[in-house]
């Protein structure tokens, strides 16, 4: 039976950015958050001695990001180490935990145990928020470490609110950077960092593969959790279909920069139900396992 548009409206938020995974944010929608202090996120180029060897790029996709957990489980189980994590939106959230040294199993448990009501905020404009709950959650799960304080290098991707230009952060507050990377337009307040407003990294590059290569990675493993264009149903709102095709086009334009691009089929309609979470994790595992030969081949070419 086809889903009604009312049903689709009820789950539309879950197709958006990190806030879609952890869903909505605590508190009423507030003003733009300002980060101007010494811990404001910024980017500092890596020196030759700091250049990464193996990068893992975790893309945007809301609750589809549960599939990232399945990929992490397979990489960990097969002893595949990465020394750089590049994350956009939900990928930045999970990437921060992974960079901090959390095991794939621990991240999975967090994903399955999280209570979405923690992130719900109701205001006069509906279910919206200013991102403070996301920032708090990231700070808790990363011991409030700065972006350059992790076991693995972490780079968070956001988009400028004007022009949607890709911006990378690898120094300063992790919580602030992820908050910016997850600020879905029209749903969550943007974040102002050193005078520039940022919002969801998905608006610039859903899977910032080229960025990982330009940071010096010799091997790039990327994970795209966006919907397949072929899965767009006839009843989907036209605005969704246009956005999905634009997102796919952006990923396709960057695919050549990846040694391995993992793209599990997670269906079209997303959800935060336990059943959907488990399905995404399982399909992420299946897709990563199928990609193992190609990953090992790429790693074998490392200098």
Q: Is pLDDT larger for residue 161 or for residue 27?
A: 161
Whether the pLDDT of residue 1 is over 50: the answer is no
User: What's the whole-number mean pLDDT along residues 251-264?
Assistant: 98
Task: Give all strands (DSSP E) within the chain, no chain letters.
Answer: 33-35, 54-58, 84-88, 122-123, 126-127, 153-160, 166-169, 191-193, 196-199, 219-223, 260-262
* Full-model pTM: 0.88
Indicate the Cα dihedral angle 209, 215, 205, 30, nearest 10°.
140
pLDDT reported for residue 119: 58
pLDDT reported for residue 124: 38
**63, 99, 104, 167, 210 from 70: Cα distances, Å:** 13, 16, 8, 27, 23
* pLDDT tens readout for residues 62-103: 899 999 999 999 999 999 999 999 999 999 999 999 999 999
Q: Is pLDDT larger for residue 38 or for residue 114?
A: 38
User: What's the whole-number mean pLDDT along residues 99-112?
Assistant: 96
Confidence of residue 128 (pLDDT cuts 50, 70, 90): low
Give me 147's structure tokens. Answer: 């972006």
User: What's the whole-number mean pLDDT along residues 54-68?
Assistant: 96
User: What's the whole-number mean pLDDT along residues 185-204?
Assistant: 93
- Residue 70 phi, psi (nearest 5): -65, -40
pLDDT reported for residue 117: 63
User: What's the whole-number mean pLDDT along residues 37-64?
Assistant: 96
Query: Percent of the chain at pLDDT above 90?
Result: 79
**33, 39, 175, 220 from 144: Cα distances, Å:** 18, 12, 7, 27
pLDDT reported for residue 252: 98
Beta bridge partners of 216: none
* pLDDT tens readout for residues 129-163: 567 888 999 999 999 999 999 999 999 999 999 99
pLDDT reported for residue 116: 66
Confidence of residue 188 (pLDDT cuts 50, 70, 90): confident
């Amino acid at each position: 039976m086809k889903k009604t548009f009312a049903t689709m409206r009820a789950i539309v938020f879950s197709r958006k950015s990190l806030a879609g995974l952890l869903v909505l944010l605590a508190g009423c929608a507030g003003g733009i958050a300002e980060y101007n202090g010494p811990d404001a996120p910024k980017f500092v180029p890596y020196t030759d001695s700091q250049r990464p060897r193996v990068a893992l790029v975790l893309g945007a996709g809301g609750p589809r990001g549960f599939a990232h957990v399945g990929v992490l489980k397979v990489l960990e189980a097969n002893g595949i180490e990465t020394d750089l994590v590049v994350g956009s939106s939900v990928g930045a959230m999970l990437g921060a935990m992974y960079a901090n040294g959390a095991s794939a199993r621990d991240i999975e448990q967090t994903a399955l145990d999280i209570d979405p009501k923690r992130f719900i905020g109701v205001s006069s404009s509906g279910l919206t928020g200013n991102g403070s709950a996301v920032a708090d959650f990231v700070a808790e799960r990363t011991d409030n470490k700065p972006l350059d304080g992790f076991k693995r290098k972490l780079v968070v991707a956001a988009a400028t609110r004007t022009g949607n230009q890709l911006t990378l952060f690898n120094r300063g507050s992790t919580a602030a950077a992820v908050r910016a990377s997850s600020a879905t337009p029209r749903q969550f307040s943007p974040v102002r960092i050193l005078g520039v407003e940022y919002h969801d990294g998905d608006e610039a590059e859903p899977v910032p593969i080229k960025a990982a290569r330009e940071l010096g990675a010799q091997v790039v493993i990327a994970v795209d959790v966006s919907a397949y264009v072929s899965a767009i149903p006839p009843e989907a709102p036209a605005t969704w279909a246009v956005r999905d095709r634009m997102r796919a086009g952006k990923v396709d334009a960057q695919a050549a920069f990846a040694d391995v691009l993992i793209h599990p089929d997670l269906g079209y309609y997303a959800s935060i139900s336990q059943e959907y979470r488990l399905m995404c994790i399982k399909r992420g595992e299946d897709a990563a396992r199928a990609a193992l030969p190609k990953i090992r081949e790429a790693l074998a070419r490392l200098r």
